Amino acid sequence: MKIFDEIESEVQSYARAFPRVFNKAKGELLFDNDGNEYLDFLAGAGTLNYGHNNPLFKETLIQYIQDDGITHGLDMHTKAKGEFLETFNEKILKPRNLDYVVQFTGPTGTNAVEAALKLARNIKGRENIIAFTNGFHGVSLGALAATGNSHHRGAAGVSLSGTSRMPYDGYLGDDIDTTEYLEKVLSDSSSGIDKPAAVIVETVQGEGGINAASFDWLRNLDKVCKKHDVLLIIDDIQAGCGRTGTYFSFEEAGIYPDMVTLSKSLGGYGLPFAVVLFKPELDQWKPGEHNGTFRGNNFAFVTAKAAIDHYWSDDAFSKDILRKGEYVAERLESIIAQYGEGNFSAKGRGMFRGINCVNGDLAGKITKNCFKNGLIIETSGADDQIVKFFCPLIISDENLKKGLDIVESAIKEVCAKEDSIPEDTDYFDDVRVDH
């Protein structure tokens, strides 16, 4: 099909890595126009945790459409929205002792982030937001200012302001707790870091390279925020909805963030849907202050409710994700022990994992080789150096093994052709001055 080259913008990205025309999908499988089958370890960048065309939600959605249910409702009260809210409250929030108000934003993750930052700034009357190295929060201007990636930031066309950058967990090495640095600069009126309204953070950085913060670090971050009257915003757009094994990625850390952004797999069926959750006392919006035409995607409310009813009424799904995550972790450990001359490393938690292949050239060769063998898998990280394992959570054990086998063979083949595998840079060794 030439039409994509003829009139679709150069801004395309995933289409370049996977240059086929896809026309069918089921569970963890995608099919192209020529009838070729692919295992999908990309999963709509985290939107398809429950797989493509999940039959449980499909039937519900078809029935809703056949009954002439509301499709679009601005922010009006609809039956579908009410039922989603009830289910979300009863099965997700209450069992976790989370008391949150739900704000429906425009249906993209970046819009939920915009709303959270705006609300935090208005509540605290402060402009500055602390964001972290390698963080990714979206590409609209407010969210982009909190995003680290220079490729995305470079396209802004205006200065990106109102944020200060702090080192994420592990950024300065395993032995340094970077929340101590944050604590120091917030305690020092001469640090040059303006007192922030909020801190925004991912518990596992997805686009930034599958960097998983430790639970201790998250708890310390929470403490620093509380001590300095700064709001803690967890951006759970990619890590949430079960990806790490629990519904919210911060549950195991035992923290209760002031605000949470959710999108991607929230709608369940790949339908656009985003929300911000915040503590009731933070609900200081005036009517319509943050609006948007598409805040009432009722199809997404229907499938989101079905997803929660089916997968989150008990802990069976959560246990299954953790079990599969352990299997992926074991396989990744075995792969890095065999290939990469000891320079590769495994990263992440739950079903949110990756292999650091040191540079983007190597990782790109590996994912290309995978694609030739029927596996769709992407890279992430500052240099695209991480091979990112992001299959639907509902994947069968058989296909999970098959996908990992394809990656293992790809790594074996690519590494065999390399003269040597580069070592990961130790920045502190490089810059240390000998006296």
Ligand X SMILES: Cc1ncc(COP(=O)(O)O)c(C=O)c1O
The footprint of ligand X (CB under 6 A) covers 45, 108-110, 113, 136-138, 202, 206-207, 235, 237-238, 263
SS (H, E, C) 371-400: HHCCEECEEECCCCCEEEECCCCCCCHHHH
Residue 47 or 369 having the CB closest to ligand X:
47
Instruction: Yes or no: say if 166 and 148 are a contact pair by the CB < 8 Å rule.
Output: no
CA dist., res. 43 & res. 390, Å (int): 6
Q: How far apart are CA 122 and CA 114, in angstroms?
A: 12
Residues 6+ apart with CB under 8 A from 422: 343, 358, 359, 362
> Do 348 and 388 meet the contact criterion of CB atoms below 8 Å apart?
no
Shortest Cβ 391–ligand X spacing (Å): 16
CB nearer ligand X, residue 125 or residue 154:
154
Could you tell me the smallest distance in angstroms from the CB atom of residue 206 to ligand X?
A: 5
List % helix, strand, coil for the chain (3-state, nearest 5). Answer: 40, 15, 45
Nearer to ligand X, 138 or 257 (CB): 138
| Closest distance of CB 238 from ligand X, Å | 3
Contacts for 361-370 with beta carbons within 8 Å, 24 or more apart? 362/414, 362/418, 362/421, 362/422, 363/387, 365/414, 366/407, 366/410, 366/411, 366/414, 367/17, 367/410, 369/409, 369/410, 369/413, 369/414, 370/41, 370/406, 370/407, 370/410
**Residue 113 or 123: which CB sits closer to ligand X?**
113
User: At its nearest, how many Å lie between ligand X and the CB of residue 138?
Assistant: 3
Which CB, 13 or 159, lies closer to ligand X? 13
The minimum distance between CB 28 and ligand X, in angstroms, equals: 20
Distance CA 299, CA 301 (A): 5
Q: Which residue number, 42 or 186, has a Cβ lying nearer to ligand X?
A: 42
Nearer to ligand X, 235 or 384 (CB): 235
Tell me the closest approach of the beta carbon of residue 86 to ligand X, in angstroms: 25
In angstroms, what is the minimal distance from the CB of 136 to ligand X?
5
Give every CB contact of residue 160 below 8 A, 6+ residues apart in sequence: 141, 144, 145, 153
Residue-wise DSSP of 176-225:
--HHHHHHHHHH-TTSS-PPPSEEEE-SEETTTT-EEPPHHHHHHHHHHH
Instruction: State the pairing for strand pair 211-212/204-205.
Output: antiparallel
Give dist(CA 138, CA 278) in Å, integer. 19
Minimum CB distance to ligand X smaller for 40 or for 235: 235
Return the residue nearest ligand X (CB atom): 109
Which CB atom, from 243 or from 331, has the smaller least distance to ligand X? 243
Cβ 424 to ligand X shortest distance, Å: 24
- Least spacing, CB of residue 42 vs ligand X, in Å: 12
